[in-house]
Amino acid sequence: MNKNFKIYAAILIIILIVVAMFGRKEKPVLDWRKNYNIEKKTPFGLYIFDQESNKLFNKKLEKTGVSPYNYYLKNNQKKPHNILIIQKELDEISWQYIMNEVSNGSDVMWFTDKTTAPLRDTLGFRFKTVSYAENYYLQFTDKKLKNNRLFIDKSPDNKGFSYIRNDIEVLGKTLSKENNNQTSINVDFVKVPFGEGHFYIHSEPLVLTNYYLLNSKNKYLESVLSYLPNRETVWFMDNDTPLSMSPLRFIHNNPSLKYAWYLLIFGLVVFVIFNAKRKQRIVPIVEPLKNTSVEFIKSIGNLYLQEGDFHEMMAKKAQYFLNKVRMDLMIDTQNLDEQFINKLHLKTGKNIELIKEAVELLKKGQDPYASVMKEDLIRMNQLLDQILK
């Protein structure tokens, strides 16, 4: 474990501790978002409706997590039935299958505040925001149900039907209350005939949420659902997603755990970013190549000394010296005479007697028949080194 990792881990732990300390003091914030989620117990979730749905549909409810397209591919011989859709955007093929079922006698109960233009054209209505009231009543047109109205006082959608085909039946309206006089704002609940079946479309899906089910003092929702025949109902929920199967659903349903999870992900991302930087690799120490020439010469010298061949060593030393004189001092070394001695004296500035003694030893080294002693080799080596300094 390197030093940087320990630093990042310590920072992350400190942040988690600080967040936990602040989180303990914070009061839980109520989530007023319109999620229409069956697992949410927030005001605008569908948890209560989901729990009570079997009772509301007389225990004839089938919940499915697949799209209508996939469902009806496997159930293509299904008898006329009811179809429940809540605030969902379906693909065009799924709608074609649903409309085919309605044409054959099925009925659709559809809670939504938005639809696609082709579907609106097919069913014959216009759907848009028609008012901006802060609160209003949802009232049935059937006088028998006039007491089962619902007061919408939180986040109304203000959606309704601005144009309705002549054969469409109006089942409910939105009413405002001004000076104790009720004034109609728009139509919010209609019955659209299609083939042998019908579309029941309600433009205020808030009526299904936890908040309004708990605060309703009458049977408004039961009255809406009562328009469906008493038969099997298929509720199309999340398309092609198993119900409540997400492994993170418990974390996401708890704000503290959710924020801790996001913080963990953020910390891991930061850690990866910092450690993904290009790091300089360790530069290996490259040992310079050793000059073994001196060692080689020493080895050769030791070899000659061991053999006692001083004459051969003097000859090689003389050859090396004369080659050096020719190359560096540009002096002809063919004849080691007085002229050579004078030129070497002038070029090097060394004592002429020293040069004469060295020349005598050079001649001795070049003479194959001369008798050479160890002292001669040492003296010649000393003289030649002094001349070339």
Please name the residue that has the structure tokens 């079922």: 101
Residue 376 has pLDDT above 60, yes or no: yes
Residue 51 lies in a domain: yes
Nearest to 364 by CA among 351, 354, 377: 377
Q: Which two tokens stand for residue 227?
A: 């328009």
Higher-pLDDT residue of 7, 195: 195
Nearest to 78 by CA among 93, 64, 92, 57: 64
Residue 284 lies in a domain: no
Is pTM beyond 0.85? Reply is no
Q: Which two tokens stand for residue 221?
A: 């929702």
Q: What share of the chain in percent tops pLDDT 70?
A: 81
Residue 36 lies in a domain: no
Domain total in the chain: 2
216 and 304 part of one domain: no
H-run or E-run covering 17: helix 3-25
Mean pLDDT, to the nearest integer, of 295-314? 68
Q: Answer whether 122's CB lies under 8 Å from 199's CB.
A: no
- The reported pLDDT for the residue numbered 178 is 56
239 and 367 part of one domain: no
Mean pLDDT, to the nearest integer, of 71-87? 90
What are the pLDDT digits (tens) for 9-55?
777 777 777 766 665 555 667 788 888 888 888 999 999 999 999 99
Nearest to 270 by CA among 21, 4, 23, 1: 4
* Residue 215: CATH number of its domain: 3.40.50
| Residues in CB range of 95: below 8 A, 6 or more apart | 68, 119
Give 61's pLDDT tier (boundaries 50, 70, 90).
very high
The residue segments making up the domain with residue 377 are: 297-387
- The reported pLDDT for the residue numbered 226 is 93
Mean pLDDT, to the nearest integer, of 62-84? 90
Mean pLDDT, to the nearest integer, of 88-95? 85
- The reported pLDDT for the residue numbered 240 is 43
Residue 181 lies in a domain: yes
320 and 240 part of one domain: no
Mean pLDDT, to the nearest integer, of 150-164? 81
